[in-house]
Amino acid sequence: MSFLNGATVGFDTVNNKAVFIDQTLLPNVYKEISTDDFGEMFEAIRLLKVRGAPAIGVFTAISLAVLMNKSNAHTYEELISELSRYADELIKCRPTAVNLKWAAEQMKKCGETSNKDNFKENLTALALKIISNDIEVCRKIGEYGAEILKNCNSFLTHCNAGRLAAVKYGTALAPLYVMKEQGKSIRAYADETRPLLQGARLTSFELNEAGIDTTLICDNMASYVMKNRLIDAVLVGCDRVALNGDTANKIGTSGVAILAKHYGIPFYVCMPFSTFDFSLQNGSEIAIEERNGEEITDLWYKEKMAPEGVKTINVAFDVTDASLITAFITEKGVIAPSEIKKYITE
């Protein structure tokens, strides 16, 4: 029996467990995992069992609530210390995704404004609120996106920014789901997204399950698809946006944006407003995660596909220049890169 029932992560408050889909097993195996163990939570994020900026943020909030609910701390000071320790460790786990840090800081602030008697109750309530807010935010992104893209029928996306990257709907795929609900005939092209194949394993899986006409392409076919006018727009998610609009997203995104600019195809970044990081002036200040090179040389092969000793560069993200982005589609509306500073006080 499924606890999540179509969601990606969840909070089992009856049993005090964080619940998530192990996305490393998709599309061949669907497995829900329930845990109250910090090590398993940390590894779930690090190993991309839970992935996608919104989902990581929500899962962080749930995890911290679960951990504190089972805490044996006797004083308020001990509770705060324990919460801060767990939060700080999770923040280190994936440094590029701002939603993780945002959620951890929200939970810490909640603890700091609580007392010993309502500490656990308040954290649980906030985690549940963050879950419901994520669903509402993604739905609004979908509605705004569906409106601005009403004259478009075919889309290219990179990585996975659908429901598997959030609780439901997702970000980049939210407009497609809303259009589908509206009865519109749409088509999606999904980049495979090397080296972890989130497009092949996850985007094509969830769109196909939703009954949306989906075509999987190799990453280096994006130019062909654009040149032959097989798509009307590009939709991607993101993990962090600097004040000037420079945007960090899964490696390969900047190349897609450059191609879209060349072929005159609009390039939209779909994201919750919380993904803006107003503390960073531009993309050069965004910390970029580098992962184990074995993801390139070994992960998807029966035998090692590169010679022993060859060097690898396996950065997980790149930064797309603001000049390449048509607009950001958020729950607050559609925002041009030049308009971001208007929102700095929000």
Which secondary structure element, helix H or strand E, spans residue 155, and what is its range? strand 154-157
H helices present in the chain, as ranges: 38-46, 53-69, 76-93, 98-112, 119-148, 174-181, 198, 204-209, 222-227, 253-263, 294-297
- List, by residue number, the catalytic residues: 239
Instruction: For 81-126, write each residue's pLDDT tens digit.
Output: 999 999 999 999 888 778 899 999 999 999 999 999 999 999 999 9
pLDDT at 346: 60
Domains annotated for the chain, with CATH where assigned, are 9-136 (1.20.120.420), 138-343 (3.40.50.10470)
Instruction: For 5-33, write each residue's pLDDT tens digit.
Output: 889 999 999 999 999 999 999 999 999 99
What is the rounded distance in angstroms from the CA atom of residue 99 to the CA atom of residue 91? Answer: 10
Q: What is the mean pLDDT of the chain?
A: 95
291-316: b or e for each residue (b if 16 or more CB lie within 10 Å)? beeebbbeeeeeeeeeeeeeeeebeb
Asked if residues 277 and 98 have their Cβ atoms less than 8 Å apart, the reply is yes
pLDDT at 310: 96
What is the rounded distance in angstroms from the CA atom of residue 217 to the CA atom of residue 201? Answer: 12
**Nearest one of 162, 164, 141 to 4, comparing CA atoms:** 164
Distant-in-sequence, close-in-space partners of 101: CB < 8 Å, separation ≥ 6: 91
pLDDT at 96: 79
pTM of the model as a whole: 0.88
What is the rounded distance in angstroms from the CA atom of residue 178 to the CA atom of residue 196? Answer: 27
pLDDT < 70 stretches in the chain: 1, 346
Distant-in-sequence, close-in-space partners of 104: CB < 8 Å, separation ≥ 6: 60, 61, 64, 87, 88, 90, 91
Question: Is 210 exposed, middle or buried (CB count within 10 Å of its CB: 0-12, 13-18, 19+)?
Answer: middle
